[in-house]
Chain A
Amino acid sequence: MRANVSQMLTHGASEPIMSRPDYEQNALHHGCLLVLLRGVGPSKPRSLQKAFDKVRRVSNVKINDSTGITRDIWVRYIHDHPVENNDWGDFQTHRRLLGLITIGKFENQTELNELCRQHESLKVRYSGTLYDSRAIFFGPSSAHVAENINSAGGDQHFTDASNLTIHDSVNLNSNSVTNHCPRLEEEYTTPSNFKAQAFFYREQDSCSDLESHIAEFIHALFWVLESKRLDRSREKVEKVSLLLAPFEKRDFVGLDMDSRSNRKRTVGRVTKNLADLSLQAGLVVDALGLYHSACETLRAIGDLLWLSASEEGLCSASAILLYPHLRESETLHRNTSLQDGPSPLRSTPEKWRASDATVKVHAPEHQHNSHPDAQGMASTVQMTSASSSCSSVSSLLTNSSTSGTPSSSSSTSTISAAQHGARSSELPSNILKPDELHGYYRRAIINYSKYGPAAIIETEAALKAARIMIEQNRPLDVAMFLQNIFFINVTMSEPERVKRLEVVSDLYHQIGYRRKAAFFQHLAALKYVQQGNPNPDWSQTYRLMLESFSGYLLSLDPMEVIDNAAGWPALQIDLLQGVIAAARRLGQSALATRHMTFLLQTQWAHMTPTEQSELSVQLQNLSAQCEGSPVPLVLENGTVIPPANLTDLPYCMDLVVRDLPAHLRPQRIKIVKADSGPFLFTPIHLNSMDRREKKKEKNKISFLWVQNNLSEVTLRLRNPLPIELTVSDMRLLTNGIVFESLPQTVILQPHVPTTVTLHGTPIEVGQLEIQGYSTHALGVKSNCRLKNMRGRKFPPNYLVDVIPALPRISVKTSLPQTATFSQLASSDIVITSASLTLYNGESSTCIVTITNDSPLPVEHLEISISSNVEQEVQKKIFIIDEKELQSKLPIQPNSSIDFTVHIYGEADFVCPIVSQRAASVHSNSTVTAALQADYAGATMGAGPYSLQYSTLSSSGHASLPSRVSSPNQQQTSYNRRNDPNNLSFRSSTSGGAPSLAALSLPPAGTQGSTHGYGQHVEAQFRVKYSGGEAMQQGYCRQCAISFNIELLPSAQITSWDVLPAEIPSQFYLVLDVSNLTAQEMSLNYTNNKSILIEAKESCRVPIPVDRCSLEQVVAAREAEYAENMEKDLCYRTQLLSFSDSISKLCSEHIAERVKISWLLAGTDIQGIASLHGIVLTSAMIDLTTVSPLEWTVSFQNTPVQPQSEIVCAAGQSAILNVSVSNQSAQPLRNLVLTIKFYQDYLNGMENYNLDTRVAISGPSRVSIPLLQKHAQIQHECTAIFFTPGRFKASIQCCSKPQETSTQSARGQLLEHKMPAVQVSDIVGSAASYHEQQEHIWKFIPPIEVTVIEQ
């Protein structure tokens, strides 16, 4: 009895009238036998689960009654039933609890006794209505039978073994009990007071026969019911007593029961009662009839309560026939429940999106398919779960009885098939039409509502009606019925109210009213914890709130919510805050943090700045308790809460993947042009290729990263909060190859864009996918993936190719570093620099040390030089011994090699055009330009100076320094004498001097700057190196040393001239050399002559040089001519070029013969000044080259020898015979031979008008139209000197230029003959050389005649 009480207490809530509405009820339950299925004892759900399922599966039994009709009997198992509900048993018989089945497990005798006791107590409790009961006991598994026996008192075992009931039961199921182990009921015995049929099973027993037992049990129940029904039907109308609803008891005391109306009332009610019984007993059709008659009777007398009861019955009866498949739903739901999951949150976003927009679109399907659609099933399951999870053990079992084995589902399906069969057979005429049901229910409910105590009946009716309406797909009516429920004022406990809300919300779910459902879920959630609630249940609140998400278009995945930005922000925010609060109350700070993150992430746009910052602070506080991290959280009900990331806190404005620093960038060792086809450049093809490339992957990074090389990505971040935001542990999120990324911490000021650089090192080779970055802000770890960042044009990821590790070198030089930056291109690869100052012509060395800092050997090393001077000059300046270098490879890790660079201060020591050309070639633009500008003035000054000097030099003293300087006196023997004519000759040519000056002056402006005043040579030593696997793949690195060399002017040749030497085979090269250095310089100009020059001083040196032979000249000409022919430019260039070629020839001739080495006094600085690029006038050229004319001059028939004295008497005639022969390779034209006497005053004055002193008989001018080669012509004339003195005769032969007409003619001719060129042309054209410009060949030295008195 105490047990009984305790039971009562556990199911508390004992109110006078029916306490608890049975929300699961549907219309079809009117036809069911109510059986309480209850687990007893310390139950082990898992082990007993199978039993529960097996029992529950036996929900329908076909029984042949006495008349042979098969009755379709349905059983409804419930796990809990308030006794009070039985009180309404007369009103609606299906409310009576008819059967009881307990399932329990015991380990030993005492436990068994407890089970029995509980079973009995339950029997006592429902004694009023109970027909029969069964107990199912699971004993210990045979394994530990033995000790159990010992534990259980053996004696008791035998004494109680003689219990009859047990034996019956034993006999009954003896056949089925597993035979290999001793029977349980022999080991254990039920106490004597246990008067129920019990089935014993081993724990691991398959209980194959359990179903049959239950079926038998149901049979038993049926027969009792059937008997009752028969009794009722056989009752005499006049004898029956009035049936009453519980609260009517007092209403009818002292009323005349025999009044007509009351008789009718009695009859009506009895009929109704009978109808109920028939319905349960499977006689649906009879029931229909009875209900109809009952309705009439009761309506007549206005017994509204019972009238509506019977109307409801009518509806139920019809429903049973109309919608038999509703029965299946219950079992089916259990099966579906697994797939569907315990909460609607599992439903895909599509689902709930659809629910908002297009739920009703598939409403029509509702009608057409006979099966309740998946949604329906799903939600019924939710209902069971919802109702169960807040109550007793057994209910837990029912709830988790989702392990509906295929067998069960199949069985039900067969049943359903049967049902449909039955259905298809025509329905009774008196059945209600589907659309009548609505009206009937409606009326019934209205009538119920008139009776306060019937509130629960009304509620249930409303629910049943709603379910039927769902079945009929009339959502509006469903809504109406459900809405009505809340107007029924029924006194019930808070939990009951909450449960009601949940049930209603669930029904709304079934008709796709997600918002309403959500609304009530939310309401229920609040009720669980509203103040005044003695024991608030936050877990329920939390669960319900989560479930209500879908109704508010919230999903658990932030990205979904953001992507389909729909719904009602204000509500979403409120809801989320509710969830957060619940989670906090539950102490689930992890969840709280997660939801808060979610809130910030999804609702950011809908919040005011103040809200934003407030919530951010809250988040910080929450995460202080439990830091958020991007891992899914799983609730105990299996719901997975996906990670929420603060992708936009801070807000990433852009992300740039950085290339490696220039000097570490991998490069292709050699550019392979092969892939671009046979053509060097095929634009269309390539372009299209590129475009296709771009289309394919624009997120592909063009450059490469290198394994084990620190790489970086820069972000620009903005902090949207008004408060300072600290973002710590920022790392790159990568995929693909292993990447070790270094954490980074930044503090972001409000609204200030900040650039952050994230570093990392690829550990492997291959493709690296950069997906985004991870942050730790506001105490939340977030993975900010690019693909999740909205509103920016980010690719979903960046792909970088990582190549194998490359070696890495560092470079040192023996020279000091430069302060200045290199002006050259790609100066970014420069890693060190060297500076050096040299005098022009000086040479020096530099030792470069290359150290390998990497663990890989440097196997490949190549050095290229690029500079701001033209290639050949550069070649002269820098000399490296490649071989030596290569021989030193490979450079082992952490070792180093040296190599030497020879540097020579190459410069043009002579002036003009050549060097000017060089200057123009110089790549260094601005600086030198500036320099030029600066120095232009100065050199202009310098120019005239040198010029003037050279002109002055015509005075005898001018050449003094040279004599002084010349140590050897052996020349002076004749110097005395040859000096004058030397000079005189010079003076004669001084006419040419201005032209020389004119020639040398203008360039002086430009060339002076580069040479005269120091030149900066900038060069880069580009070192390409590689090694290891990367080298096999053809990658290398390039770094550079920047050389900065300042060339100071040393010796400088400011002007020069060419003078005939004493011997025709030679000539004198006279140079004005100025020492531009600050020290005294000793100049060695021929093998044994040297001269000292003061700083900034200049002096003239004569250098004897062998003439350039004719053969060379001819060769040069023809070479060039041929060259021109190749260039097709012959006819254009020939006019200019021949002389050009000759002068080149000559200057080279000079350059290679004349080397002037200089030494700065007091230092060991020395160098060589080469005469490269010296420019000669045609007059000079004629002197430089061997003259084509060979002279033989005889005076007085005595041949004139150089330096020979000729004496003749005044007044005497003297014969002067001149013969000229052409030595050159071709004929000479238009020669004019002139003979002129003059007197030289040795002071630069020369007197040519000697008419009074000398006379010439015979022409002094002879013109020679043509002088064939090797031809010779003679000319003879007589001279008479009138006065004694020293006379000189200049004999010269000059060729006048030809008329242009023939020139052009030849031009055309050549042009015309272009394709096939014959030697004759070459010769001919070569011949033209002499005709192009004026030439003067002199007889050197001039004849010197001393006239004496007779």
Chain B
Amino acid sequence: MAVCISIIGKDNAPLYLTTADMDKELELQYRVHAALDVVEEKCQPISKATPESKELYLGMLYSTETHKIYGFVTNTKIKFVIVVDSGNIALRENEVRAMFRNLHMLYTDAVCNPFYAPGEPLASKKFDRAVQKIMGGNA
């Protein structure tokens, strides 16, 4: 369902990133990284307070021939970026929202884990497994 799911910290350094197939990983990392500009743009407080701008879900950041990149930001300025295949027409946007919501759940749980120091990369196996589920589209 998703090609790549990534969590980026306050300082725009990756906390977690996973891709459907490893060969594409680097390329996708580049894409995700490039998406951050738009994320930041959308996180600007001065962006006029239109209702959707208050939402954690940032919508599609940009799209290319091959991929659609969606963004999500928590109140704590943790960014989630999900890359999906442009070919995948079946995918509804609210499914993407759902993915983000689940991801957010997982993240908050992970953060509340006392063994996790906020700001560190997320190394928890359990977390990883759960994220893989989301990426597979069954979560």
Q: Do chains A and B touch in the complex (CB under 8 A)?
A: yes
- Asked if B12 lies at the interface with its beta carbon under 8 angstroms from chain A, I say yes
Question: Contact between B62 and A479 (Cβ–Cβ < 8 Å)?
Answer: yes
Give Cα A621–Cα B65 distance, bound, in whole angstroms: 40
Quick check: A360 and B12 within 8 Å, CB to CB?
no
Residues of A within 8 A of B12 (CB): 356, 566-568
Alpha-carbon distance between A522 and B33 when the two chains are bound, in angstroms: 12
Query: A571 an interface residue at 8 Å Cβ cutoff?
Result: yes
A364→B46 contact, CB < 8 A = yes
Task: Let me know if A1056 is at the binding interface, CB within 8 A.
Answer: no
Known A-B contacts A360-B46, A487-B65; the reply to A513 vs B37 at CB < 8 A is: yes
* Any B CB within 8 A of the CB of A516: yes
Q: Are the C-beta atoms of B34 and A570 separated by less than 8 Å?
A: no
Number of A-B residue pairs with CB-CB distance less than 8 Å in the complex they form: 63
Q: Of the candidates B14, B30, B65, which one forms a contact with A486 in the assembled complex, judged by CB atoms under 8 Å apart?
A: B65
Q: A570 and B11: CB pair below 8 A?
A: no
Is A117 located at the chain interface by the 8 A CB criterion? no
Cβ of B102 < 8 Å from any Cβ of A? no
Contacting A at CB under 8 A, from B41-77, are: 41-42, 44, 46, 62-65
Q: By the criterion CB–CB under 8 Å, are A519 and B13 in contact? A: no
Which residues of chain B (1-57) have a CB below 8 Å from chain A? 11-14, 17, 26, 29-31, 33-38, 40-42, 44, 46
Is A552 part of the binding interface, using a Cβ–Cβ cutoff of 8 Å?
yes
Q: Does A1102 contact B (CB under 8 A)?
A: no
Quick one: which of B29, B63, B64 contacts A571, CB cutoff 8 A?
B29
- Compute how far the CA of A568 lies from the CA of B14 in the bound complex, rounded to whole angstroms: 6
Judging by beta carbons under 8 Å apart, are B41 and A476 in contact?
A: yes
Pair A570/B63 contact, Cβ less than 8 Å: no
A481-504 CB contacts (< 8 Å) to partner B? 483, 486-487
Please judge, given known A-B contacts A356-B12, A570-B29, whether A483 and B62 are in contact too, CB under 8 Å: yes
**Chain B CB within 8 A of A527 CB:** no
Q: Are B37 and A516 in contact (CB under 8 A)?
A: yes
* Chain A residues near B44 (CB-CB < 8 A): 360, 363
Residue of B13, B17, B33 touching A515 (CB-CB under 8 A): B33
Cα–Cα distance between A516 and B32 once the two chains are bound (Å): 10
- Residue picked from B13, B29, B41, most chain A C-beta under 10 Å: B41
A1152 within 8 Å of B by Cβ?
Answer: no
Task: Report B-chain residues with C-beta under 8 Å of the C-beta of A518.
Answer: 34
Q: What is the chain A residue whose CB lies nearest that of B9?
A: A566
Check A514 for interface membership: any CB of B closer than 8 A: yes
What are the residues of chain B within 8 A of A508 when measuring CB–CB?
37
A665 to B102, CA, bound (A): 72
A514-550 vs B, Cβ < 8 Å mask (1 yes, 0 no): 1110110010000000000000000000000000000
| A574 interface contact, C-beta 8 A | yes
The distance in angstroms between the C-alpha atoms of A568 and B28, with both chains bound, is 13
Residues of chain A contacted by B64 (CB below 8 angstroms)? 486
Could you tell me the distance between the alpha carbons of A360 and B36 in the complex, rounded to whole angstroms?
13
Shortest A1023–chain B CB gap in Å is 63
Q: A487 CA to B41 CA in the complex, in Å?
A: 22
Q: Does A475 contact B (CB under 8 A)?
A: yes
What residue in chain A is nearest B62 (Cβ atoms)? A483
The answer to whether A568 and B29 touch across the interface, beta carbons within 8 angstroms, is yes
B49 shortest CB reach to chain A, Å: 16
Cα-based distance from A552 to B13 in the complex (angstroms): 10
> Closest CB of chain B to A1323's CB: distance in Å?
93
* Given A487-B65, A570-B14, residue A519 in contact with residue B33 (CB < 8 A): yes
B29 touches A516 (CB 8 A): no
In angstroms, how far is the closest chain B Cβ from the Cβ of A599? Answer: 16
Task: Output the least CB separation between A530 and chain B (Å).
Answer: 13
Interface centre among B13, B30, B63 (most CB of A within 10 A): B30
Contact B41 A568 (CB under 8 A): no
Dominant secondary structure at the A interface:
helix
Q: Separation in Å of the B52 CB from the closest CB of chain A?
A: 13
Docked CA distance A514–B38 (Å)? 11
- In the complex, the chain A residue whose C-beta lies closest to that of B34 is A519
The answer for the CA separation of A518 and B42 in the assembled complex, in Å, is: 19
- Do B41 and A360 have beta carbons less than 8 Å apart? yes
Q: Closest Cβ of chain A: how far from B39's Cβ, in Å?
A: 10
A519-B30, A570-B14 known; A363 and B46 CB under 8 Å? yes
How far is A486 from B33 in the complex, measured between Cα atoms in Å? 18
Instruction: Give the residue name and chain of the B residue nearest to A567 (CB).
Output: B13
Interface positions, chain B 68-100, Cβ under 8 Å from A, are none
Q: Chain B contacts of A522 at CB under 8 A?
A: 30
State A216–B30 Cα separation when bound (angstroms): 53
Bound Cα distance A522, B30 (Å): 9
Q: Which of B33, B38, B46 contacts A568 (CB 8 A)?
A: B33
Enumerate chain A residues within 8 angstroms of B29, measured Cβ to Cβ: 568, 570-571
Contacts of B38 in A (CB 8 A): 476, 479, 513, 516
Within 8 A of B (CB), among A1197-1233: none
Residues of chain B within 8 A (CB-CB) of A569 are 13
Contacts A515-B33, A516-B37, A519-B30 known; A566 to B13 CB distance under 8 Å?
Answer: yes
CA distance A487 to B38 in the complex (A): 19
Q: How far is the CB of B56 from chain A (nearest CB, A)?
A: 18
Q: For B25, give the chain A residue with the smallest CB separation.
A: A570
Choose one: A359, A360, A571; the contact of B33 (CB below 8 Å): A571
**Which B residues are CB-close (under 8 A) to A513?**
37-38, 41
Expressed in whole angstroms, the minimum distance between the Cβ of A937 and any Cβ of chain B is: 71
Closest residue of chain B to A523, judged by CB?
Answer: B30
Q: Which residues of A, 559-585, contact B by the 8 Å Cβ criterion? A: 566-571, 574
Q: Assess the B33–A475 pair: CB atoms within 8 A.
A: no
A922–B36 Cα distance when bound, in Å, is 82
Q: Report the separation of the CA atoms of residues A359 and B65 in the bound assembly, to the nearest whole angstrom.
A: 28
- B26 and A574: CB pair below 8 A? yes
- Bound complex: CA A508 to CA B38 (Å): 11
Contact B14–A515 (Cβ < 8 Å): no
Determine the distance from Cα of A483 to Cα of B41 in the docked complex, in whole angstroms. 15
By a CB distance below 8 angstroms, the chain A residues around B42 are: 476
Provide the A1121-1159 mask, 1 if CB < 8 A to any CB of B, else 0: 000000000000000000000000000000000000000
Instruction: Using CB atoms, name the residue of chain A closest to B63.
Output: A483
- Distance between Cα atoms of A967 and B44 in the complex (Å): 126
The reply to whether B46 and A516 form a contact with Cβ atoms under 8 Å apart is no
CB neighbours (8 Å) of A364 from chain B are 46
Bound-complex Cα distance A475 to B37 (A): 10
Q: How far is the CB of A620 from chain B (nearest CB, A)?
A: 25
In the complex the two chains form, what is the Cα distance from A359 to B41 in whole Å? Answer: 9
CB distance from B71 to the nearest CB of A (A): 12
The distance from the CB of B2 to the nearest CB of chain A, in whole angstroms, is 19
| CB of B102, distance to nearest CB on chain A (Å) | 24
Q: Cα distance A567–B12 when bound, in Å?
A: 6
A488: min CB distance to chain B, Å: 11
Min CB–CB distance A571 → chain B (angstroms): 6
**B13 to A: closest C-beta gap in Å:** 6
Minimum CB–CB distance from B64 to chain A (whole Å) comes to: 7
Instruction: Point out the residues of chain A lying under 8 angstroms from B65, CB to CB.
Output: 486-487
Partner pick for A475 among B11, B13, B41, CB 8 A cutoff? B41
Q: With A483-B63, A519-B33 known to touch, is A568 a contact of B13 (CB < 8 Å)? A: yes
CB-CB under 8 A from A512, the residues of chain B are 37
B33:A514 contact, CB within 8 angstroms = no
In whole Å, how far is A512's beta carbon from the nearest beta carbon of chain B?
8
The answer for the CA separation of A483 and B67 in the assembled complex, in Å, is 12
Q: Contacts of A475 on B, CB cut-off 8 Å?
A: 41
Given A363-B46, A570-B26 in contact, is the A515-B36 Cβ separation under 8 Å? yes
Encoded as 1 (CB less than 8 Å from any B CB) or 0, chain A from 101 to 125 comes to: 0000000000000000000000000
Selected contact of B34 from candidates A359, A487, A515, A566, CB within 8 Å: A515
Most buried by A among B26, B33, B63: B33
A566 touching B33 in the complex, CB below 8 Å, given contacts A363-B46, A574-B26: no
10 pairs of residues in contact across A and B, judged by CB atoms under 8 Å: A356-B12, A364-B46, A476-B41, A513-B38, A514-B37, A516-B38, A522-B30, A566-B13, A570-B17, A571-B33
* Other 6 A-B pairs with CB < 8 A, given A522-B30, A568-B12: A359-B40, A483-B62, A516-B34, A516-B38, A566-B11, A571-B29
List the 3 closest A-B pairs by CB distance, nearest first. Answer: A519-B34, A513-B37, A515-B37
